[in-house]
């Protein structure tokens, strides 16, 4: 079933909300279109753990019968299955929790409902939102991974099942799936969006975010969760720093070319573009500290959840827990101290640029479904607690596979980062229409 630009399932969340407010579209019509798309496509894609057709249609009917009030009135939304959303199960990507039914919504789900959203169901996450993959395929290339851990949300967006879905990131769990599936992903600054009612894997790194088909949808979400946006900058006043990303022998040859092309297009549009490489601290040391912090905290937080049920957990997760146990308290404290030093050093970068533009992944989606791909490009920015926005700005020449870049902004400046990202995304463009 081919999706055309005018189809209801191709709408962005912002446009859907506008049409529902204008009464040119009903929530029932949109939810029905999404459910039909899911029924047609998801048996092969497997982006959803659970879809609540009856409760979603009932909720949509209520929205249509009441005056629009919230910013997402009548808009269907998918929720990553590491967060509670009544009446659905919260399974965390593990058979241990297959019967886990929450009594209340996670904080962000409750807020989405207040704004009028219709919760369509739960999207697939990897095992406990870590690395072992779930069953989801990449809709752009079914033989390749959709990324992880927000795999179901990214695939559902890319395949036009729903206009908006939640995600989370501890390493690269939003930006990598967004890049691999050719959609947009916003990882908020650490601590800016509520985590209550969500699986905790790392107290220092876990961050809520969303996947969408336009930056405008993130601007709308910012207003919902964080309040009024700053005024957008004049494009010619915007200073963009190009950062080639962490050192790696695995770069796809077209990725660095995409970054260079984007920089040149921004220069031609009158923006100030500078190279920011190297960063004013050791990237390799920061990435190592991120791993020490994450594994140490994952071992502390997940071990109690699987105690006595180890036979139902993958060997890969058990190995990670064991690795985390080997990180001594002294090493952990030193890593946390180094992190604070690196965050302070990064703050100095913003004297010369307003945001960074850097790859969101090493290249296109990794072949096969046995791995979610290399998360190197997200690890540093999760570690540094800054906002990042993945954008599908390119594609491989031979197979038209998505290539994603991400913008990085100062910590806590999500609104300004999103406003600047909209400008950059508008100039560079995307080969993948909503």
Active-site residues: which are they? 80, 149, 173
SS3 140: coil
CA angle 252, 256, 257 (to 5 degrees): 105
Q: Which long-range contacts (CB under 8 A, 24 or more apart) does 323-332 make?
A: 323/295, 323/299, 324/294, 324/295, 324/296, 324/297, 324/298, 324/299, 324/300, 325/299, 327/292, 327/295, 327/296, 327/299, 331/292, 331/296, 332/292, 332/293, 332/296
**195: which residues sit within 8 A by CB, 6+ positions away?**
107, 206, 208
What region does 30 belong to: left with phi over 0, alpha with psi -120 to 50, or beta?
alpha
H-helix or E-strand spanning residue 44: helix 27-45
β-strand pairing of 118-123 with 76-80: parallel
Residue 198, CA distances (Å) to 43, 90, 149 in order: 27, 9, 14
169-191 b/e (C-beta count within 10 Å ≥ 16 → b): bbbbbbbbbbbbbbbbbbbbbbe
**271: which residues sit within 8 A by CB, 6+ positions away?**
235, 236, 238, 239, 240, 423, 424, 427
Contact status, residue 17 vs residue 224, Cβ threshold 8 Å: no
The span from the CA of 418 to the CA of 411, in Å, is 12
Residue 89 burial (C-beta neighbours within 10 Å; 0-12, 13-18, 19+): middle
């Amino acid at each position: 079933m081919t999706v055309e630009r005018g189809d209801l399932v191709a709408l962005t969340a912002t446009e859907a909300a506008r049409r529902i407010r204008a009464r040119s579209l009903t929530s029932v019509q949109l939810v029905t279109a999404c459910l039909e798309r899911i029924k047609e496509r998801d048996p092969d894609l497997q982006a959803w753990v659970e879809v609540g057709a009856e409760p979603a249609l009932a909720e949509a009917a209520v929205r249509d019968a009441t005056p629009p009030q919230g910013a997402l009135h009548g808009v269907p939304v998918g929720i990553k299955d590491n967060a509670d959303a009544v009446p659905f199960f919260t399974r965390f990507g593990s058979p241990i929790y297959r019967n886990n039914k929450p009594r209340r919504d996670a904080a962000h789900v409750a807020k989405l409902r207040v704004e009028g959203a219709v919760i369509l169901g739960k999207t697939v996450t990897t095992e406990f939102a870590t690395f072992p993959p779930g069953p989801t395929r990449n809709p752009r290339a079914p033989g390749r991974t959709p990324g992880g851990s927000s795999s179901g949300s990214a695939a559902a967006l890319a395949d036009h099942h729903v206009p908006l879905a939640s995600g989370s990131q501890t390493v690269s769990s939003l930006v990598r799936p967004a890049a691999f599936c050719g959609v947009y992903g916003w990882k908020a600054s650490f601590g800016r969006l509520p985590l209550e009612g969500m699986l905790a894997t790392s107290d220092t790194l876990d961050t809520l975010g969303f996947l969408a088909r336009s930056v405008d949808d993130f601007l709308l979400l910012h207003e919902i969760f964080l309040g009024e946006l700053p005024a957008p900058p004049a494009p010619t006043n915007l200073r963009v720093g190009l950062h080639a990303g962490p050192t790696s022998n695995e770069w796809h040859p077209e990725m660095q070319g995409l970054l260079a092309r984007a920089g040149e297009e921004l220069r031609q549009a009158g923006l100030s573009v500078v190279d920011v490489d190297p960063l004013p601290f050791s990237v390799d040391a920061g990435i190592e500290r991120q791993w020490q912090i994450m594994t140490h905290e994952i071992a502390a937080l997940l071990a109690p959840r699987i105690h006595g049920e180890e036979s139902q957990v993958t060997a890969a997760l058990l190995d990670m827990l064991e690795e985390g146990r080997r990180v001594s308290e002294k090493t952990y404290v030193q890593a946390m101290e180094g992190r604070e030093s690196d965050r302070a050093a990064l703050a100095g970068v913003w004297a010369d640029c307003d945001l960074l533009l850097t790859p969101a992944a090493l290249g296109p989606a990794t072949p096969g479904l046995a791995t979610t791909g290399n998360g190197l490009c997200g690890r540093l920015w999760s570690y540094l607690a800054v906002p990042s926005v993945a954008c599908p700005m390119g594609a491989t020449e031979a197979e038209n596979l998505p290539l994603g870049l991400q913008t990085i902004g100062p910590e806590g400046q999500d609104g300004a980062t999103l406003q600047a990202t909209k400008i950059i995304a508008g100039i560079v463009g995307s080969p993948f229409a909503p």
